Amino acid sequence: MTPADAVSETSRPALQALAELDLLERPDHQAAVVVETFFGVTSLPVSIERVESVSQAITDADAAALYRIGYGYAPFHCPDCAASYCGAHWNWRSFEDDPYSGIEGDCPRGHFRVLAY
């Protein structure tokens, strides 16, 4: 059974497509987390040292723990507010600062964050 097979039984077609893409993009037996945010969907690798802590944070629905492990796992979380916000609440924008580009923003209380590279 592949990750795509597991998703296909109970999920939306978009999630099925993501699972299939994730399967194609990752080397065999490498863990990854699919992060769906207000600015897009991405698949982030999870190192073997972090698999247990990432799994526990997901099980606990603990965005703060995910953010502490790696901000890319929960970019919608503001650690200064100890809160997670949807896209309608973040003041977010794309940036191009050669050689870097990504998404940055301010939470509703004005705390600046780089949300994604």
Q: What is the per-residue pLDDT for 37? A: 83
Q: Is the pTM of this model over 0.85?
A: no
Q: Name the stretches of the chain with pLDDT < 50.
A: 1-10
Each domain of the chain, given as residue ranges in start order, spans 3-116
Q: What is the per-residue pLDDT for 8? A: 43
Report the alpha-carbon distance of residue 73 to residue 66 in Å, rounded: 6
Q: What is the per-residue pLDDT for 9? A: 46
Q: What is the per-residue pLDDT for 69? A: 94
Report the alpha-carbon distance of residue 42 to residue 56 in Å, rounded: 20
